Structure 1
Amino acid sequence: MDVNLLVILGIMTVFAAGFIQGLTSFGFALIAMPFLAKVIPLQQIVPIVVILSLFTNIIVIINVRRHIDIKKIWILILFSLLAAPMGTYLLIYLNEPVLKILTGLLIVGFSTILLLGKSFPIRNEKLAFVSVGILSGLLNGSISMSGPPVALFLSNQNMGKEKFRANITAYAIILNVITISTYIYSGLLTKEVMIYTSWFIPSMLLGVLCGIKAIKKLDDQLFRRLALWLIIISGLWTLVNTLTSL
């Protein structure tokens, strides 16, 4: 395929991923990674997506910064960071495919239950954030899937769209910064990575801004359904990719 055509398709993909991120505050990697990984080496595309995700999260957090609940989010961040290194030990007892399949099934199953109108609100949210943070950290350290547990918990609590977006974005920014720091230390931020990133930044910015504008037209219930569908897609994508690679 022509190189120019690949660049154009990549730009369109990043725009779509940016739009979803601006709309729901997660899902950028879910949209961008599958296509970009087919045209750019994986060792380059992973840091590219993380850098672009950081930019999208910064834009979103500026828009919803007044809704961040620091008293809750710091607990989530702390226990997630503490649990992340232990995530690697999960692979000692469960190999990666098994762990991904179990995680995908749980994500799809619980998301479907919430989508059908069932929820299990937890009164002691601070204590719950400890558990969610640990689970998110373990998954991040083992299979790089930190987002779904947090998104599912916030959806289960019927959190309004602005608080949902603010809290999950604040959490994601911390993870982005830590991840990028490890890439810098490991020498993964190469010249090629920065060139590709610069190509995609304009379409990413446009996509995020369009998503932020579109969110104003969604009420809390429609936003919640959209977020749950996106979580279901992420779970299904994990299952399909894992099963086809066996």
Structure 2
Amino acid sequence: MTWAVVTGVCGAVFLATVVQQVSGFGFALLCVPLASLVVGPKDAVAVAMLAGLVSSGKMAHGLRAQVHRPELRRLLLGAALGLPIGVVGLRLLPDDPLRVALAVVVLTMVAVLAGGYRRASTAPRTQVAAGVLSGLLNGSLGTGGPPVIVLLQATGTEQHRFRATTTAFFATCDLAAIPLILVSGATTATGWWSAAASIPVLLVGDRVGHRLAYRIDRDQFARVVLGLLAVTAVVTLVAVFA
């Protein structure tokens, strides 16, 4: 593990932490493709899992009173079914297909959110299904956010309830995924050590993002985040085919 790797991972973690604190999503969606440019997609999942657990867990604890628990339970039920299958995919799939799949997932989510998809409500079974898909994506790509984000955004969930519920979901999923990924042997020590080295930077990003969360207009910031996600996905694709 070189200083260039540590610096690259720390930069990805810092940016992702600030974005998540302000918007309630985006940590893994930014962290995984950016970190994959320096440590590869599989070790980038390890970075997102360990650093994401700290980031989401800290944020979820602070917002715990605003979590919508029935919704969270249904999402976690689905994730428990999808996560082990996703980890198998992480173990078996080569790096380049994982990078392409990651970019496609990010760009699809950007298109759906930018298109303003809305619905009045969602049935409990839809929430469980979103959890299953999220678990699959989390275990294989480290980016389980899109199904949950789209679901909550589509129903117009209030900003701080959205932040509380999504971060509680992400933290719980990361906590469950880490031992599964360790046992699978899909990642190397580089991912875990670089993630651990990024924790101090993460804490700085957490404080910066927390201050910004109550000062920046959410809609305006969301547009910036979507643009940043799109650029990150394109860069990931270029790295595969260059």
TM-score higher than 0.5 here? yes
Tell me the residue number matched to 2:109: 107
Tell me the residue number matched to 2:77: 78
Give the alignment partner of residue 119 of structure 2, picking from 103, 118, 121. 121
**TM-score, normalised with respect to structure 2:** 0.76
Q: Does 1:159 align with 2:161?
A: no
Q: Is the 8 A contact 2:33 2:102 kept in 1?
A: no
Q: Deviations over 1:51-84 (max 9, x none)?
A: 1110000111122111100011100110122234
Give the alignment partner of residue 214 of structure 2, picking from 213, 216, 240. 216
Provide the secondary structure at the position in 1 that maps to 2:17.
helix
Which deviates more, 176-185 or 218-227?
Answer: 218-227
Provide the secondary structure at the position in 2 that maps to 1:66.
helix
Provide the secondary structure at the position in 1 that maps to 2:198.
helix
For 1:10 and 1:138, the matched residues in 2 are separated by: 24
> How far did 1:231 drift?
5.6
| Distance change (3 Å), C-alpha of 1:218 and 1:46 | same
Tell me the residue number matched to 2:181: 183
Give the alignment partner of residue 198 of structure 2, picking from 191, 197, 200. 200
Q: Is the 8 A contact 2:83 2:136 kept in 1?
A: yes
For 1:193 and 1:101, the matched residues in 2 are separated by: 20
Tell me the residue number matched to 1:148: 146
For 1:193 and 1:86, the matched residues in 2 are separated by: 21
Q: Is the 8 A contact 2:53 2:174 kept in 1?
A: yes
| Distance change (3 Å), C-alpha of 1:172 and 1:223 | same
| Distance change (3 Å), C-alpha of 1:60 and 1:172 | same
Which deviates more, 40-49 or 55-64?
Answer: 40-49
Which deviates more, 190-199 or 210-219?
Answer: 190-199
Q: Deviations over 1:21-76 (max 9, x none)?
A: 22223322333344444444665443233111100001111221111000111001
> How far did 1:138 drift?
3.9
- Tell me which amino acid in the other structure corresponds to 2:45: V
> How far did 1:10 drift?
4.2
Which deviates more, 202-211 or 136-145?
Answer: 136-145
Q: Does 1:26 align with 2:25?
A: yes
> How far did 1:182 drift?
1.5
For 2:150 and 2:234, the matched residues in 1 are separated by: 15
Larger Rg: 1
Count residues in correspondence. Answer: 235
For 1:14 and 1:105, the matched residues in 2 are separated by: 20
For 1:232 and 1:101, the matched residues in 2 are separated by: 9
Percent of aligned pairs with the same amino acid: 26
- The CA RMSD over aligned residues, in Å, is 3.7
Which deviates more, 100-109 or 167-176?
Answer: 100-109
Runs of at least 5 residues in structure 2 that lack an aligned partner in the other structure: none
